[in-house]
Amino acid sequence: MEYFIIAIILLALELLYFKIAGHYNIIDKPNHRSSHTKITLRGGGVIFPFACVLYFVMSIIHRKEWFVPEQFWSFGLGLFLLSAISFLDDILDLSTKLRLVFHFLSVVLLIYFLGLWNVLPFWLLPIVFIFIIGVLNAYNFMDGINGITGLYSFVILSTLYYINQYKIIFTDVNFIIYPVLASLVFLFFNFRKKAKCFAGDVGSMSIAFWVLALLGLLVVKTQELTYLLFIGVYGIEVIFTIIQRIKLKENIFEAHRHHLYQLLVNKMKWSHLLVSTMYGVIQLLINFSIIYWQLSFMEGILYLIFPTLIMYVLAKFYIFKTTETY
């Protein structure tokens, strides 16, 4: 019953935000690099920080055993800082330097939340920092078509829920369920041919932060890097698109249309929902395979990520040959 009530509250908060966004003209206008053609409300991803606030409130009310304010404050503050600066950037288009300051503080707080400051050797911390920043931006880069962010996140979160329930308990189950509920509510409005709203930076960044926190808790608990492959599809897409853009001598920090999902939608004329579903299903198959066959990190790379990479390269090569477009 609690989860049904939380879902209704999240739905109401999202609808309230739509009213505010409509009144203040918080919208996303199509441009030559967009994969959409209609003016759409931006920032619907505020539902994820809303879900975090609800999680904190309900945990305090019920005095959840897993919820220790002294430990979770750093996660909450990190998510708040990242969500706030991302939402402001959605509205005002802030400078890169200002965003980087807030991103830096958020990552520092996430590393503290995971307890890595006292566990990892000093030389490894910059690598972890770069990895987290990379994943946050990868999520943001990939948030370009209807349904992809919500569905991909739902797949990862559902996998983590299964592991927490049936394999090894690594966190409070509600810490997983609340973002799952937020993803479902967001998908109700976004997984459509004509989306009611887009996640915006606030949505892609905040859910990426939450996913990273959960993956981090699982990796710390099990000491297994294999679970990082639960975001392997995005990793392949972003890393090799960056390599491609460097090869083309393009500025990798500028908007573009070289991602495979963009090519499938814009050049091959596949539907947004089909492409989003494809990404989610491929990641789900990878996650299932890792759990079912209990693969190590290197086995996962060899048997799952490498074949996926081959399919990715072949798909881009086929599109290039068919449309003469990178």
Confirm whether 175 is domain-assigned. yes
Quick one: 205 exposed, middle or buried, by C-beta within 10 A (0-12, 13-18, 19+)? Answer: buried
What's the confidence (pLDDT) of residue 80? Answer: 97
Is residue 238 situated within a structural domain?
A: no
Average pLDDT over residues 108-131: 93
State the total domains in the chain.
Answer: 1
Residue 70, domain member (yes or no): yes
pLDDT at 196 over 70: yes
Mean predicted confidence (pLDDT) in 306-326:
90
pLDDT of residue 254: 77
Residue 253: band (very low, low, confident or very high) from pLDDT cuts 50, 70, 90:
confident
Tell whether 257 is covered by a domain: no
Kindly state the average pLDDT of the residues 120-138: 94
Q: What is the mean pLDDT of residues 218-242?
A: 96
pLDDT at 168 exceeding the cut of 80:
yes
Q: Which residue has the tokens 């880069």?
A: 141
Does residue 320 fall inside a structural domain? no
**pLDDT for the residue 326:** 58
- Sorting pLDDT into bands at 50, 70 and 90, what band is 37? low
Across the range 247-274, mean pLDDT stands at 89
Predicted pLDDT of residue 55: 93
Tell me the per-residue pLDDT of 46-101, one tens digit each, with 9 for 90 and over. Answer: 999 999 999 999 988 877 666 666 678 999 999 999 999 999 999 988 998 999 99
Region 12-31: mean pLDDT is 90
User: Does any domain span residue 245?
Assistant: no
Res. 117: pLDDT tops 80:
yes
**For residue 41, what are the domain limits?**
2-228
Least confident of 7-21, 38-52, 97-111, 245-259: 245-259
- Tell me the helix, strand and coil percentages in the chain, rounded to 5: 75, 0, 25
Residues 32-40 have a mean pLDDT of 70
Share of the chain above pLDDT 90, in %: 79
Quick one: average pLDDT of 287-315? 97
113 CB-near residues (< 8 Å, 6+ apart): 71, 72, 74, 75, 78, 213, 216
Mean confidence (pLDDT) of the chain: 93
Domain assignment present for residue 249? The answer is no
Q: Which of 142, 116, 273, 252 is nearest to 205 (CA)?
A: 142
Q: Which whole number is the average pLDDT over 164-175?
A: 96
Residue 173 domain-assigned (yes or no): yes
Measured CA to CA, the distance from residue 263 to residue 4 in angstroms comes to 38
| 193 neighbors 272 (Cβ within 8 angstroms) | yes
Out of 32-41, 76-85, 236-245, which region has the weakest mean confidence (pLDDT)? 32-41
